[in-house]
Chain A
Amino acid sequence: MSASATNETETPDLSAIARPPQVLNNRGPLWVTDAVCSIVEGKTPLWWYAGITVSGAFAAAGLACILYMIVTGVGVWGSNSPAFWAWDITNFIFWVSMAHAGSFISAVLFLTRQKWSLSVSRAAEAMTVFAIVCAGVYPAIHIGRVWFVWFLFPVPNNYGMWPNFSSPLLWDVFAVSSYLTVSSLFWFAGMIPDLAVLRDRATTKIRKFCYGVASLGWLGTARQWRHYESMYVLLAGLTAVLVVTVTTIVASDCATSVIPGWHATIFPFYFMAGAVYSGSATVLTLLIPLRALYPQLKDLITPSQLEKVAKLLLMMGSCVAYVYVFELFCAWYSGNAFERGAFWERFHGTAAWYAITCLTINLTVPQLFWFKRIRTCLPLVFVLAILCNVGMWFERFMIVTTSLLHDFLPSSWGNFHPSIVDILTATGTVGIFFTLFLLFIRFVPVMSMNELKAALPGAQPQHSGEEH
């Protein structure tokens, strides 16, 4: 790679097939460091305070609702029979899927040496961790008797009882918690060298101490680098595996059931595709404003990188579209009155508008990215990305609740209306997410300086991690 990099400088006639540089305007390593660190070191902009106040307020409201729910009963939500699960699990799946994309982008693309993801990966990982935090809220609180949640953990007790290891919900508990652990480790590990840089540049004692502790005494010696990189690759590998397994397990919450609309073998793929789709949409939603707010990042987060993310979104969006069509085909082809009924009601029943919104967005919006002009027009991409996320939320609801509303016996069909508590809890998680993200951009380097520098033209080969 670096070979080709040197080639670029020497033989311009190859420039036609050359890959676009990761950092524009031939910026040097020092400039990169300054650019990234300045965000953390410079004075806090006003919009940041504004932002954190708003998101903090939403988060607080959400937490208040959760407390009220716990002391009063799950009934404060709109959930009912047959929709025993509604916004709670919808949001859980929404967030946890989003989380998967972050790791996918950083870990999988890192392992496949996709240099273009370098500037994006840190933010993506952060998104992962925060999204899991939001996702994790729901399984914990949605149950009827939170104070007995320890029944879910295999602890020795004087009942002489174990949890039911055949239940997908139990797999969830293990999957999500291990995913949170590993992805946060992966995220933190990636930051160590950069935190060291911040430590070295720190002016105040406090900063020096905090970043010092955080960077675990990083010196950047060759030995540390070797250990570091092998550890990083291992974590990346582990994360990449988890991305797939955890999605599959979350998908099996539905797939292992008997409910038409849930009971389908395609679900793991369905969820994976949806995950990366919503995740890349979120990355775009986060990075485009970031780039706009911090002009110095314009050379680091390059349009071509964002365009690649857009392409990824297009691809995954198409996968999702394929699944929609395939599901409907299977329902028809099965000849099973109940399968057919379920999908008919999905678009004609009491909650049809959820499904219709979902399909309208997810079948059209990503397909717009076939056009380069749209792909490269960042403000437009930003708007469309947000739309995609909205579409995905509706998809999650369509899968979880619309299916429940119209199952086997028409006599027990029902409808669902969200209560104010539902809504505030949902917005609350959004608030939590953005609060955490704002803190993230303020206090840690938003992108991996060391990797970026390694990707600079003329960077030392052994730092690009190619010898692994």
Chain B
Amino acid sequence: MKKIFPHPQRDAKPTLWRSLEERADTSSFRESLGREFSDAAAGRDSDGLSRRDFVRLMGAATALTGVGLTGCRRPEAHLVPFAKAAEWTIPGKFLYYASAMPAPTGAIPVIVTTSDGRPVKIEGNPLHPLSNGSTDAFAQASVLDLYDPHRSKEITHDSLKVSRGDLDNLVAKIRYTAGTNGGQGLAILVGKEQSPTVERLHAALAQQFPKLLWVQDEAISSPGSFDALLGPGARPSVDFTKADIILSVGADFLNPAESGFGFANGFAARRDPSGKMNRLYVAENHFSLTGGMADHRLRVRASEYGDFLAAVAAAVAAKTGDSTLKTLASGYKGTGAAFDPAWIKGVADDLIAAKGRGAVLAGSQLPDAVQALALGLNASLGNLGATITARQGMVKSAAKLADLAAAMQAGAVQTLLILGGNPVLTAPPDLDFPNLLARVPETLHLSLFADETSKVTHWQVPAAHYLESWGDTRSLDGTICAVQPMILPLWNGISSIEILAALAGEKVDGPSAVRATFNAGSKDASDAAWHSFLKHGFAAGTAFATAAPALNQAAAQAAVQSFKVESPGEFEAVFLRSSSVDDGRYSGNSWLQETPDFVTKLVWDNAVLVSPADAKAIGIHDGDWLRLTAGGRSVDAAALITPGHADRSVSIALGYGRKGVSHVMEKVGFDAYPLRSSSTICFRPGVKVERLSKDAYVFARTQEHENMEGRNIAREGTVEQFAEEPKFASEMDGELAPAKSIYPTPSYDKGLQWGLSIDLNSCIGCNACLLACRSENNVPVVGKDQVRKGRDMAWIRIDRWFASADHKEENLEMIPMAVMCQQCEIAPCEAVCPANATVHSEEGLNLMAYNRCIGTRYCANNCPWKVRRFNWFDYNERPLDELYFGPLAHKGMADSVQMSKNPNVTVRMRGVMEKCTFCIQRIEEAKIARSVAAKGSDVEKTPLPAFKTACQQACPSESIVFGSINDKESAVSRAKADPRTYTSLVHLGTRPRVTYMARVRNPNPAMPGASLVGAANRGQHA
């Protein structure tokens, strides 16, 4: 479809979205809210306000089986048109608005699909300079956050419901007192999302109330800053399209949540073996997305990252005779850990050989000393200015949480407004934040959920979701993006901008505050400029200036010299950013909770990740309990043995084990925050690990078996292999040549023939496709217990294979492989369905007619890829904790959750099979659009509107290509023509329409174990 970006109604009345639905029912939304509030748990509240769900099909079904009374058969339903038509809105047609999702590591520019005024889907904004139209998993899932019935809905003061007026009075009072005493005792805590408007308001406030304490911090954030090393406000940024040799030390730059959005595509662009392929060295303590892509990977304890970099620096200096680097390296007094000299030499030589074409990265959360070493290396290798530039960002004069705590300790804070974050949960325990907070006379917390902090503060104010509020935010490159409301706040949410503006004495009316910033910031402040800003979702040319970074060697030396490393002790604990709940801000989102961890494939839980060697040493198996003790605090958590993890080191994801906020978070994982201290934010040395004799904890994992068992499922080779035999992947079919049918088989060569190709070489396994599919296709969440039983519903699953040619930890490789319905031309599932519920279309699609399915499950048995999903229970209509209650369970889905559903996809009822159909709703929509355009003319001469499948659209590395394979010019045809292309399980002769492009690694022959790289299938031919 063609995208149009009109700006939304400013004076939008609730009716705009409330009675829009030209469908059968119209229960007033307000009532439903009342009910929702009364009984939040498990969304047990619906009078069956049904959109495209099966409720009425069930009605029909009962009528079929039962006695056919006319009443049952023909219930009177009503159609309710608008009283006054709403601009832009055509009932039943999608509208697309450009917006942006703020994030601490840089906003994600998005296009929001709204159906009848309800945002239902998030896509990337391809117009944005950083974006290729993709998103990350969190952006995809943010729709559900908007509609989450457990969001906080009322302003409360000392847990009494109060009105908006009371809040305004409070703000006015604060403003008045601050005006009198210059902001003495007033502190404001905000997150690290960069918003020009917030910055402007901060400036205004600072100017009005000079004594104001402005604190900006995040739960997981870098302890130091680059201000000293590269000059104030400067941030290093790597151009992966230019980098040939990359050394990453604990830097998970492919994970957007960790390092900001927009690196994956640049990196992927250089992974094409037919072009000049980059080489990636990774030293890390646990498998990360980046580690999975590595050509050479070394397991290094987090506390030894610095030692590793120092060693490399020393080796480089030794060879190049760079004395500054030499002193820098020798200045680093680390743990004295030793590394395989061959490894260090190999990396050093390779980096030197690629002077000016290499890049050395250190994890964003590592201390300045380690950053200094990395930058020192880059400076010495001439990478600064070549592959690494510096973005001249805002100069941050903000205090940190520790400063705030100190001020509170000193009793210097009378009024604290917490407009971002959840410090009571996330603050390092040594700050004793909860108690300090309790002592502050006037405290306010603005948040989506009434969470841990809200319970302590006097005021709890429901925050407006970014899809509900006006705002602006910066993406990683500094480009200013517009944040527009798609819908009026569902539960009277208020944005931080509104509060700050009120505090600064500004009158807020819709976008006025944002518009003011825009006018102040841009040369052209005309309405036209403003509208194009909203229409495109960003202001072109507002990116930070970039310059060749100049490393302040003196500062670097100082940082390294002053750095004192704690001895790592027997064990270190590394605190991970969860791939499902980030730092805990998404723990309420069931889509994300049920999204498997990149590496462990764990859902609804975190775990203490332990290396196999350590596990043997401690004598534990998966699920056994460990007690981690550090700084007098201890955490009991279940362990999960993780291949590729560094020894004498354990990792645990943050943001789990929360209690009493929403039932989604209950009994989910273990809280690791108590283990941190303000000096050890990202890892903590000297942790005591002891085994507890409790009976084992049962994890829910979507993949239990990670060994390919000698079957060439995910295929990989090396650059040399590819050079001498480009078709090495299809060669692996060996004697298992495609089976030939003795019967005549359909050819499928007319008109549109849909096919899909997945490039394993650029696929990083980031889960974005998985979430996009869940959101697009109304895939239900089934809960921990059901996943444990092996009943998860995800239409795309990302199989994560561990392979090692010599079965040694050292040479372990990780290969993610996305598997969805392969759309076999000769589909085993179709032949066996007795009801004809799954049949083939003339366009080569393996269709699934839910309403015809009776659920014999034979198709799923007969599916070699096991991609068919069965509705064992009424997952959409029954609370997940009452699945077994049968008719006694509460019925119906929360009205707000219903609003999040895609109206073009049937919501499946219990007892039916479901699976990927290449987003047939999008295919049909495109074909309909073409026919409509053709009118009274030859439709085949009319071009088909461009469209993508949900997974393809979300993929940051553009690994998924979809289109008609009958059109030889199409991208998918070209992808399938690539020599690396192979078909999985080709010997079955089912002729899948999904093909894979083998992964190619680029090992450095000089490295130890180079011969074992890219050898996942070595010697495993059938």
Contact = CB atoms under 8 A, between A and B. Distances in A.
Whether A and B touch (Cβ < 8 Å) is answered with yes
Contact of A413 (B705, B735, B834, B883): B705
Interface string A148-172: 1101100000010111101111100
B494 interface: no
Interface string A333-356: 001111001000000000000000
Contacts of A151: 834-835, 852, 854
B708 A410 contact: yes
A148 B854 contact: yes
B949 interface: no
A36 to B, nearest CB: 44
Contacts of A38: none
A414 B819 contact: no
Contacts of A50: none
Contact of A73 (B704, B835, B857, B883): B883
Given A75-B873, A151-B835, A410 B911 contact: no
Contacts of A168: 832
Interface string A389-409: 000000000000000100111
B181 interface: no
Contacts of A2: none
A404 B861 contact: yes
Nearest to B734: A337
A144 B870 contact: yes
A62 to B, nearest CB: 17
Contacts of A80: 789-791, 872
A144 to B, nearest CB: 2
Contact of A84 (B707, B857, B883): B857
A413 B706 CA distance: 10
A294 B717 CA distance: 75
A145 B854 contact: yes
B861 A408 contact: no
Interface stretch (B59-67, B521-529, B969-977): B59-67
Nearest to A82: B866
Contact of B834 (A146, A147, A152, A258): A152
Given A147-B61, A169-B834, A409 B864 contact: yes
Contacts of A74: 855, 857, 870, 872, 911
A72 interface: yes
Given A84-B857, A411-B703, A163 B836 contact: yes
Given A145-B853, A257-B828, A413-B704, A72 B873 contact: yes
B854 A152 contact: yes
Interface string B860-880: 111011101111111000000
Interface residues of A, number: 56
B858 interface: yes
B841 to A, nearest CB: 16
Interface string B757-801: 000000000000000000000000000001001110000010101
A412 interface: yes
Contact of B852 (A161, A258, A404, A413): A161
Interface string B974-1004: 0000000000010110100000000000000
B864 A163 contact: no
B861 A411 contact: no
Given A74-B872, A81-B791, A144-B911, A409 B866 contact: yes
Contacts of B786: 75
Interface in A407-424: 407-415
Contact of B887 (A71, A147, A166, A335): A71
B298 to A, nearest CB: 27
Contact of B855 (A143, A410, A414): A143
B790 A414 contact: yes
Given A73-B911, A144-B857, A258-B862, A164 B836 contact: yes
Given A73-B872, A409-B713, A81 B834 contact: no
B578 to A, nearest CB: 22
Contacts of A408: 711, 864-866, 985
A148 B988 CA distance: 32
Interface in A109-135: none
Output the residue of B789, B985, B987 with the most chain A CB within 10 A. B789
A76 interface: yes
A337 B988 contact: no
Interface in B304-356: none
A335 B1022 contact: yes
Given A68-B886, A145-B853, A409-B819, A257 B832 contact: yes
Contact of B864 (A173, A337, A407): A407
A253 B819 CA distance: 26
A143 B828 contact: no
A341 B869 CA distance: 24
A84 B870 contact: yes
Contacts of B831: 166-167, 256
Interface of B: 61-62, 64-65, 703-711, 713, 735-736, 786, 789-791, 797, 799, 801, 819, 828, 831-836, 852-858, 860-862, 864-866, 868-874, 883-887, 909-913, 985, 987-988, 990, 1022
Given A143-B911, A145-B853, 19 more contacts: A72-B884, A72-B886, A74-B872, A75-B872, A75-B884, A79-B857, A81-B869, A81-B870, A143-B855, A144-B855, A144-B910, A144-B912, A167-B831, A256-B831, A258-B828, A337-B1022, A338-B711, A341-B711, A411-B703
15 contacts: A82-B861, A143-B856, A144-B854, A144-B857, A146-B854, A152-B834, A152-B835, A256-B831, A257-B828, A257-B861, A404-B861, A408-B865, A410-B713, A411-B703, A411-B713
